[in-house]
Amino acid sequence: MSAQSAWTIPEVRTALEARKISARELVMDFYARIAERNSELNIFLALSPERAYAQADKIDAAIAAGDALPVMAGVPVAVKDVISTRGIPTTCGSRILEGYRPAYDATAVTLMERAGAIVLGKTNCDEFAMGSSNENSAYGPVRNPVAPDHVPGGSSGGSAAAVAANLAVASLGTDTGGSIRQPGSFCGVPALNPSYGRVSRYGLIAYASSLDRIGPFAHTVRDAATVMSVIAGRDARDATSASVPVPDYVAGLKRPLHGLRIGIPEDYFGEGIDPEVRKKIEAGIAVLERLGCRRVSIRMPNTNYAIATYYIVATAEASSNLARYDGVRYGPRVPGSTLIEMYQKTRGHGFGAEVKRRIVLGTYVLSAGYYDAYYIKGQKVRALIARDFQEAFEKVDAIVTPTSPVPAFRLGERTANPLQMYLADIYTVTGSLAGVPGISVPCGKSSSGLPIGLQIYGPAFGEDRVLQMAHAFEQAGGPEL
């Protein structure tokens, strides 16, 4: 196999069934490429060869026995380091979880392995998934495989880069305010943030519980649909997972787009959008129109308030969720003369700058005297933003926007000003607050060769529709615009 070949899920299956390669050889091939690229790109924080080869041998035995193969048989995958994997280091990109090995697997990981997938290892990310550039990892930033002096996006930068660099066929990321879609856009791969409640979060280490979701990166929209068919559904271990039936996402891809109404929110194309991004997105919308979609101009009047709302809600929840890192049950401890002093020193030493900033902000907005002015106000505006989406979906079948107002930026270029970094999340946080699914699909490149992503939002539990549209867009040459 050539070192550069990008495997898709059907290609893996065909090669395994034709005995052109064994699952074990395929895993060796991926580990060889990881060994070659990882020191430069810093994508993987931990590898799990024992577990990967054991799974590969099981697949090879099934092939030898002529057994029917499950849908992800032999597919090498990568998992973001905020998702628990039994016995494999899971750090959340934080020093405070250095050396932590979970005692159980996340449901999404269990389901993928049950479907035959092979977990190669854990991918780098912004610490506790807080960031838009991967520069907040305690283990150093990931580099964008398309342009290594640029960021891969964040927080799931490692999972996006793993697929983009052909170091995994598919990967799992998590999205709280754009952390799947934006790195998908920056690295030029399809990336789906499913509806809130669509994928079990059992074993996902929490950042902001009312927003966190797990979703896939893949080389093709079809592969993302395949992963979704495996990980979606109700899980008794996650009370927030929905009992909504899971449609056949792959079969649904073939449906024509003719007659679908796509909403273009005027409010998303104002100031702050890079002219090159605007141009490509306009060209992308034209592709969808050629496929039979009808363009409808819509208003989402509360868009301008989404970032402020997000940084209240997310940081408040984070300050509560991250209280558990206290040097008692996992991770390193910094000694103190009293219990409180031990907590303070352990947390002061173990958390990085962005996490501390968000804990302080979140604690502040929840504290006595500010709770109503900030936290309750934020939740009320969140209701208005969700209403914007509900009203839009009465008029249109999907909403099309840029994924990010800018393509990938250079490492270090934006770290000095946290607020500026937050503001670039505008097109993704809206959907996060509303709970709706959104996919980022490659939509051409900037003049300097940086990928641009087109985002398609669907109504809650409308993954089948956004996948269908993104697939048709991809087949019609959207990525080459």
Partner 1 sequence: MKISREDVLKVAALANLELSDSEVDTYRGHLDDILTYIDKLNELDTSGVEPLTQVVAASTDDSTLRDDVIVRADIITEVLQGAPDPEAPYFRVPKVIEK
User: Which 302-361 residues touch partner 1, going by CB under 8 A?
Assistant: 302, 304-305, 307-309, 311-312, 319, 323, 326-333, 335-345, 347-349, 351, 353, 356-357, 359-361
Nearer to partner 1, 168 or 307 (CB): 307
In the complex, minimum distance from the CB of residue 302 to partner 1, in angstroms, rounded to a whole number: 7
Span from 50-58, 162-170, 180-188, 236-244 in contact with partner 1 (CB under 8 A):
236-244
Cβ neighbour number for residue 429 with a 10 Å cutoff: 25
In the complex, minimum distance from the CB of residue 269 to partner 1, in angstroms, rounded to a whole number: 20
- From 28, 255, 363, 415, residue interacting with partner 1 (rule: CB under 8 A): 363
**Kind plus residue range of the DSSP H or E element containing 225:** helix 221-231
Binding residues for partner 1 restricted to 107-146, rule: CB under 8 A = none
Nearer to partner 1, 68 or 416 (CB): 416
**Where in the sequence numbering do the catalytic residues fall?**
80, 155, 179
Lay out the site mask for partner 1 across 167-186 (x = CB under 8 A, - = otherwise).
--------------------
Span from 12-20, 67-75, 105-113, 416-424 in contact with partner 1 (CB under 8 A):
416-424
Binding residues for partner 1 restricted to 80-109, rule: CB under 8 A = 87, 99-101, 103-104
Nearer to partner 1, 197 or 402 (CB): 197
- From 58, 279, 379, 413, residue interacting with partner 1 (rule: CB under 8 A): 379
In the complex, minimum distance from the CB of residue 85 to partner 1, in angstroms, rounded to a whole number: 13
- From 186, 249, 374, 457, residue interacting with partner 1 (rule: CB under 8 A): 374
Span from 28-36, 64-72, 417-425, 473-481 in contact with partner 1 (CB under 8 A):
417-425
In the complex, minimum distance from the CB of residue 462 to partner 1, in angstroms, rounded to a whole number: 11
In the complex, minimum distance from the CB of residue 381 to partner 1, in angstroms, rounded to a whole number: 5
Nearer to partner 1, 346 or 468 (CB): 346
Annotate 366-397 with b (16+ C-beta within 10 A) or e (fewer).
beeeeeeebbebbeebbeebbebbeebbeebb
In the complex, minimum distance from the CB of residue 100 to partner 1, in angstroms, rounded to a whole number: 5
Nearer to partner 1, 175 or 326 (CB): 326
Lay out the site mask for partner 1 across 6-45 (x = CB under 8 A, - = otherwise).
----------------------------------------
Number of residues lying near partner 1 (CB under 8 A): 77
Contacts 24+ apart (CB under 8 A), 359-363: 359/315, 359/318, 359/319, 359/322, 361/311, 361/315, 361/319, 362/314, 362/315, 362/316, 362/317, 362/318, 362/319, 362/320, 363/319
Residues 177 and 130 sit within 8 Å (Cβ to Cβ): no
Nearer to partner 1, 237 or 258 (CB): 237
In the complex, minimum distance from the CB of residue 184 to partner 1, in angstroms, rounded to a whole number: 22
Q: Give me the residue label for tokens 């073939």.
A: 254
Single-letter residue type at 98 = E
Q: Residue 261 is encoded by which pair of tokens?
A: 């109404």
Lay out the site mask for partner 1 across 420-439 (x = CB under 8 A, - = otherwise).
--x----------xxx----
Binding residues for partner 1 restricted to 38-67, rule: CB under 8 A = none
Distance set, CA 110 to CA 62, 79, 231 (Å)? 19, 12, 9
Binding residues for partner 1 restricted to 385-404, rule: CB under 8 A = 386
In the complex, minimum distance from the CB of residue 115 to partner 1, in angstroms, rounded to a whole number: 24
Nearer to partner 1, 93 or 435 (CB): 435
CA 428, CA 439: separation in Å to the nearest integer? Answer: 10
CA 145, CA 34: separation in Å to the nearest integer? Answer: 12
Nearer to partner 1, 18 or 239 (CB): 239
**Kind plus residue range of the DSSP H or E element containing 241:** none
CA 181, CA 191: separation in Å to the nearest integer? Answer: 5
Nearer to partner 1, 39 or 243 (CB): 243
In the complex, minimum distance from the CB of residue 107 to partner 1, in angstroms, rounded to a whole number: 14
**Phi, psi (5° rounding) for residue 378?**
-60, -40
Distance set, CA 250 to CA 160, 223, 246, 366, 467 (Å)? 21, 8, 11, 44, 9
CA 457, CA 479: separation in Å to the nearest integer? Answer: 18
**Kind plus residue range of the DSSP H or E element containing 173:** strand 170-175
Q: Is 412 strand, coil or helix?
A: coil
Binding residues for partner 1 restricted to 183-212, rule: CB under 8 A = 195-197, 210
**By CB under 8 A, is residue 382 in contact with partner 1?**
yes
CA 40, CA 301: separation in Å to the nearest integer? Answer: 44
Per DSSP, the residues of 279-313 read: HHHHHHHHHHHHTT-EEEEE--TTGGGHHHHHHHH
Binding residues for partner 1 restricted to 243-282, rule: CB under 8 A = 243-244
CA 140, CA 136: separation in Å to the nearest integer? Answer: 8
Distance set, CA 58 to CA 22, 27, 76, 119 (Å)? 11, 13, 14, 13
Distance set, CA 398 to CA 174, 178, 294 (Å)? 22, 18, 10
Binding residues for partner 1 restricted to 446-475, rule: CB under 8 A = 460-461
